[in-house]
Amino acid sequence: MLSVAGTWPHAAFAQQQRIPIVGFVGFANADVDEVTVNAFRKALVGLGHVEGRTIIVSARSANGDVALGHAMIDELAALPVDVFLSPGPAAARAIVRKTKIPVVAVALPVADSDPELFQQRKEGANDGTACTVDWRGGEGAQHGFP
């Protein structure tokens, strides 16, 4: 009985720690989307993350079906994911329009012509707008996740 009581506080603490979830919805085919997700996962490992322990990447591919992509966004938002990883402007635009969850758009240039999608963000803002990160290496690989 004493050993159970001694471990109880540790078990309760472990249950309270939620692993952050990154949602990915690719609108292209699964093979193309897999390249992006694998590169992202590799960058996370390089930052010291262990999938399933320190972070979860929940990836979906719509295989060109826009309606399915929108349904997948809804599904991931209901989990809820903590942030979306967007492989392109169509997915980023759909996520920003459907949710208030932050979006990281991979290797997309900030476009002045699309102010709805890309907005000036304040440090720590959680307003559902997209920001760009280049996960191929360099500075971008060091931002976005704890």
Among 28-42, 49-63, 94-108, 110-124, whose mean pLDDT is lowest?
110-124
The reported pLDDT for the residue numbered 2 is: 47
The domains of the chain are located at 19-142
CATH code of the region 19-142: 3.40.50.2300
Q: Tell me the per-residue pLDDT of 13-47, one tens digit each, with 9 for 90 and over.
A: 556 689 999 999 999 889 989 998 999 999 999 99
Q: Tell me the per-residue pLDDT of 109-124, one tens digit each, with 9 for 90 and over.
A: 555 555 555 554 444 4
HSE (side-chain half, CA atoms, 13 Å) at 22: 22
The reported pLDDT for the residue numbered 101 is: 93
The answer to whether 77 and 23 are in contact (CB under 8 A) is: yes
The answer to whether 29 and 63 are in contact (CB under 8 A) is: yes
Mean per-residue pLDDT, 49-72: 96
75: CB partners within 8 A, 6+ apart = 60
Give the position of tokens 């050993």.
Answer: 3
DSSP class of 52? T
DSSP bridge pairs for 85 = 24, 104
The answer to whether 69 and 27 are in contact (CB under 8 A) is: yes
